[in-house]
Homo-oligomer: A and B are copies of this chain.
Amino acid sequence: MNVPATASAPVFLDCDTGVDDSLALAYLVSSPAVRLVGVGTVSGNTSSEQAARNSLDLLALLGAAEVPVAIGARDHLAKAYDGGVPHIHGQNGVGGVDLPPSPHEPVEVSAARLLIEMSHEHTGDLHIVAIGPLTNLALALREDPTLPSRIRAVTIMGGAARAPGNITAVAEANIGNDPEAAAAVVEAGWDLTIVPLDVTMENVLHEEDRLALLASDVPAARALGEILDHYFDFYLPTYGTRSSALHDPLAAAVAAGGVTPTVAPRVPVVVDTTDGPGRGQTVVDLRGQRLGAVDHPGVRTRVVLATDRQLGPHLLEVITAPTRRAVPVEG
């Protein structure tokens, strides 16, 4: 069931950086299991432009300034960008923290185009990790319907199966911000792993973890500790303590094999694109799973409902490791 079969597998990250996106980015750069080969940005937590700026600055801080970053869609397929969620992710998307500016700029091509280019460069090997609204992936599928044939696997943070949504009763933000794009991604027929709120809400970073980040020798880890400060306030009413859900980094860790899904049936998933109360819901068919996880024949989408361990300690270990480990250990 583990998606990453080779050490240092090439990963393309699509993100709306974003506090928890920052953790995911740091994890993917720092994990020895994967090699981040490109980043596309989309509006969600913040604008796609700001997300690109944040991603570039973080990459520089992580010693990975050479990773290309492409600005993706500002607007979603069916609605314009609405200004993001500054009360959660801060005015600049990274908790209001002024990161040291990277001298690098985004590449000239769109995020969808960069993804297509990378799919040719790493044909059959590329793993897409998408942790924002899925607009760029939908645009790439529209531009090149042969894209899935060159992709090894796709892992997304998004949706809710049994858990409540976070922007409506049933819609999670990444899916709910662009249900039409999510529907296109779910229908594309590739090997898709959905990491929904059901598991991301159960993986929590605590204040002691944040203090450990702040005390790290690794500059990027210290910056993440600062970035999380504002985010921890937002989650206080949810968890009863200053802490945060680990939405995006859990998808990154599942993709990289750092956390292994233990309950993740391959089942029919339909995204609700109506204008009814279910708009943006990932309708996951979990009937017939009482006696154990059962895959539906021919279905390539799996929905992660449980994992082998808590992400927190592993995430801290990877992010605070003293040397950057994104460089392949062997040719």
Contacts and interface: CB of A to CB of B under 8 A. Distances in A.
A225 interface: no
Contacts of A201: 290
A290 B169 contact: no
A278 interface: yes
A103 B286 CA distance: 46
A173 to B, nearest CB: 12
A276 interface: yes
Secondary structure of the A side of the interface?
loop
A164 B278 contact: no
A278 B287 contact: no
Of residues A162, A164, A166, which shows the largest number of chain B Cβ atoms within 10 Å of its Cβ? A164
Report, as a range, how many residues of chain A touch the other chain: 20 to 34
A159 to B, nearest CB: 13
Nearest to A162: B162
Interface in A72-112: none
A278 B284 contact: no
Given A274-B274, A283-B277, A239 B164 contact: no
A270 interface: yes
B169 A287 contact: yes
A240 B288 CA distance: 11
Which of A166, A268, A283, A291 has most chain B Cβ within 10 Å?
A283
Interface in A171-223: 201
Nearest to A198: B162
A272 B274 CA distance: 10
A139 to B, nearest CB: 23
Interface of A: 162-166, 169-170, 201, 237-240, 268, 270, 272-278, 281, 283-291
What 6 A-B pairs are tightest by C-beta distance, nearest first? A278-B278, A274-B276, A169-B285, A274-B274, A270-B277, A277-B283
